[in-house]
Amino acid sequence: MDDEIAEKEIKKTKLKSAILIFSIVIAFIICSIYWIYFDETPFLLSESPNNVNEVEIVEKGHGFFTDIKIRFVKEGKTVKSEKRHVNNLNWAHEPGQYNIIWENDYYVKLTINYEFKTIIMEHDFSKYTN
pLDDT in tens, 90-122: 777 788 889 999 999 999 999 988 888 888 999
Cα(24)–Cα(91) distance, integer angstroms: 35
State residue 75's pLDDT score: 85
DSSP per residue over 15-79, as a string? HHHHHHHHHHHHHHHHHHHIIIII-EEEEEEEE-TTSSEEEEEEEES-GGG-EEEEEEEETTEEE
What is the reported pTM?
A: 0.70
CB atoms within 10 A of CB 75: 11
pLDDT in tens, 51-77: 889 999 998 877 666 788 999 999 889
- In this prediction, residues 12-23 reach a mean pLDDT of 93
Position 16 pLDDT exceeds 80: yes
pLDDT in tens, 27-53: 999 988 887 777 788 889 999 999 889
Cα(125)–Cα(42) distance, integer angstroms: 22
Edge-first strand order for the sheet with 98-102 is: 98-102, 107-113, 118-124
Q: How many CA atoms lie within 13 A of 46 on its CB side?
A: 20
State residue 27's pLDDT score: 94
Average pLDDT, the chain: 86
Position 128 pLDDT exceeds 90: no
State residue 47's pLDDT score: 94
Length of the chain: 130
